[in-house]
Amino acid sequence: MKKIKINAGGLLEKIRETKPLVHHLTNWVTIYDCANILKMIGASPVMAHAKEEVRDMAQIASSLVLNIGTLTVDFVEAMKLAAESANKKGIPVVLDVCGAGATRLRDDKAFELLNETRIDIIKGNASEVARIAGEKVQTKGVDAAAVKKDLIQLAKKLAEERNCTVVITGKEDIVADEDKYYLVKNGDVMMTHVVGTGCMATSMIGAFAAVEKDLSLAAASALVCYEIAAELAAKKAKGPAKFKELLFDHLYNLNKEVIDKGQEVYQ
């Protein structure tokens, strides 16, 4: 494995220029932060879940983000309609399998979404993605449980099976598709002490996927930018709340030079 350079900063600039509309059907816990993190990078978030409008909203969007963190059966039905509309338009669909492995409902609905619609990027923590890959792991609510398997292999296999990009976030993030993978080693442990950092990462990926067709490159770039901002924030924060404020503000002020210099991407 060797260190490589990706043009994450260039993609961030493209987002700021084109202000892509990122349509979300997400959870009620972190919905504000998911919207606000995208404002920081100049994207245009919209949250809309009524089954009567999700198709229309997806048609004016540049990408679609689904997150099953506080799913209900009806909500997932709206997700399917939105995803079908996004598929028809040809915009990327990101699915955060939040809490997969914690309950039967989450597993069933995640698989329904994967089987009935085209999902372009599957994203979760180690135990969530392992569950989607068929492993018998028990996620602890929405927090990751230990997974013993080789995660890079697991991500690659799932990416092949589902013909998509797979993202496993953690101390080191794995981004894999059929052809290649990235390892992103940016970030800070402080991210684990704030609710919503995983959901926000998914929204970031949604924004980058709106401006870059190579979806694995888009996902790795999103994580690089987000986690470099997190590193800068962690340096000055005495606790998670201050850290969160600084994360947003560093992301808002982030420039290409800092990203080029700070990125820790391996292949």
Binding site for its own copies (CB under 8 A): 19, 21, 23, 27-33, 35-36, 39-40, 44-50, 52-53, 56-57, 60-61, 69-73, 99, 102-106, 138, 140-143, 193-196, 237-242, 244-250, 252-253
* Cβ nearer to its own copies, comparing 39 with 149: 39
* Cβ nearer to its own copies, comparing 85 with 165: 85
* Cβ nearer to its own copies, comparing 213 with 238: 238
* Cβ nearer to its own copies, comparing 30 with 117: 30
CA gap 143, 140 in Å, rounded: 5
CB of 243 to its own copies, least distance (A): 9
> How far is CA 24 from each of CA 18, 101, 132, 257, rounded to the nearest angstrom?
18, 22, 21, 30
* Cβ nearer to its own copies, comparing 31 with 223: 31
CB of 32 to its own copies, least distance (A): 5
CB of 36 to its own copies, least distance (A): 4
CA nearest 59: which of 81, 74, 76? 81
CA gap 172, 244 in Å, rounded: 20
CB of 179 to its own copies, least distance (A): 33
* Cβ nearer to its own copies, comparing 72 with 153: 72
CB of 125 to its own copies, least distance (A): 13
CB of 266 to its own copies, least distance (A): 29
